[in-house]
């Protein structure tokens, strides 16, 4: 079976490469792919060649009837799904991690609101370069439809990409979204020189915050203890390859972050905090990150505020 992938950036291209090497035929869509078509090179993945089994196209109709992986920024997903030329398909799988800033919806809800096909989520601890190089990676495939999981799990699994399934797409996508916010916080901490102990504390309390938020949105909190939550949190909060961590690190050092790269945690922090306010959810770390991003407070003041909160049990 062929697989369609919308989004020819680093992650979408990495998935195309590993799936093609695993024997699948892949149709990879991007807006400006003429150079990729000619050179078979991925600008975001230097030195890595696209396999022959990857067809590169800028025509969405080439993906009609295929299971489609959506590897686009969360804030662009809604407009993509509303395109008149969006292909018909029975299976849409969101690979983006975030919460829509305008509506507060996650990717699976945006898919369900726009299309009749099944909505799934593919998420977990993964860097595009690792996947493209064929380094061992494990991800979570989450869907409320057991038939979709039965079909898609073997389709997306390869010798180096191991797919686990979950029937809690809300929990899976909440983990993938909220860990980006905590990663920005950890970057702030490390950039400011506050040390590994502070980062460990922020990660741990951040996981509590993630579970609390996810449960309030109808997810199972234990889902966030798996690859899509805890696993992704560990990776994103501990590596300079993480865009969210790097964004926070630059802010922590008093520098201007690189705005040329998509940093999902920025919009997600603001969106999650708005949802938390409406539902009266205690989100102190998300609040701190949001205020710093918005320029409403300094890191020093935010840290002081966190440390002066009432003492409580764990």
**Which residues are identified as catalytic?**
179
Strand partners, 68: 4, 92
Measured CA to CA, the distance from residue 216 to residue 211 in angstroms comes to: 9
Backbone angles phi, psi at 56, to 5 degrees: -100, 130
Whole-angstrom distance, CA of residue 168 vs CA of residue 171: 5
H helices present in 10-94, as ranges: 10-21, 34-39, 74-81
Cβ density class 175-185: b for 16+ within 10 Å, e for less: bbbbbbbbbbb
DSSP letters, 152-214, are HHHHH--SSEEEEEES-HHHHHHHHHHHHHHHHHHHHHHHTT--HHHHHHHHHHHHHHHHHHH
Tokens 């969210």 — which residue? 244
CB 176 within 8 A of CB 99: no
Query: CB–CB of 110/100 below 8 Å?
Result: yes
CB 129 within 8 A of CB 177: no
SS3 of the chain: helix, strand, coil, percent, to 5: 50, 15, 35
Give the integer Cα–Cα distance in Å for 81 and 114: 7
Q: Parallel, antiparallel, or unpaired for β 91-94 and 68-70? A: parallel
| Residue 265 vs residues 84, 112, 236, 276: alpha-carbon distances, Å | 29, 23, 11, 15
Helix and strand totals (H; E) in the chain: 13, 10
């Amino acid at each position: 079976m062929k697989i369609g992938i919308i989004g020819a950036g680093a992650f979408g291209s990495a998935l195309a490469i590993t799936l093609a090497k695993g024997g699948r035929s892949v149709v990879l869509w991007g807006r400006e792919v003429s150079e990729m078509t000619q050179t078979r090179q991925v600008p975001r993945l230097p030195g890595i060649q696209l396999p022959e089994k990857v067809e590169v196209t800028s025509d969405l109709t080439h993906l009609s009837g295929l299971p489609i992986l959506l590897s686009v920024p969360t804030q662009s997903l809604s407009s993509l799904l509303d395109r008149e030329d969006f292909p018909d398909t029975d299976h849409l799988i969101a690979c983006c991690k975030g919460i829509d800033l305008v509506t507060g919806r996650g990717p699976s809800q945006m898919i369900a609101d726009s299309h009749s096909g099944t909505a799934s989520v593919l998420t977990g601890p993964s860097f595009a370069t690792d996947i493209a190089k064929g380094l061992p990676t494990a991800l979570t495939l989450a869907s409320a439809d057991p038939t979709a999981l039965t079909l898609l799990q073997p389709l997306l699994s390869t010798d180096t990409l191991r797919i686990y399934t979950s029937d809690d797409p809300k929990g899976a996508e909440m983990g993938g979204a909220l860990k980006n916010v905590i990663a920005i916080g950890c970057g702030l901490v490390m950039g400011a020189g506050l040390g590994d102990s502070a980062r460990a504390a922020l990660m741990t309390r951040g996981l509590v915050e993630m579970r609390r938020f996810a449960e309030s949105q109808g997810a199972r909190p234990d889902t966030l203890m798996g690859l899509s939550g805890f696993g992704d949190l560990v990776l994103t909060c501990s590596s300079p390859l993480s865009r969210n961590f790097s964004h926070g690190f630059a802010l922590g050092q008093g520098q201007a972050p690189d705005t040329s790269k998509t940093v999902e945690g920025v919009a997600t922090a603001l969106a999650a905090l708005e949802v938390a306010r409406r539902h009266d959810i205690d989100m102190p770390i998300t609040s701190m990150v949001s205020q710093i991003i918005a320029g409403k407070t300094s890191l020093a003041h935010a840290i002081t505020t966190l440390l002066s909160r009432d003492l409580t049990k764990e």
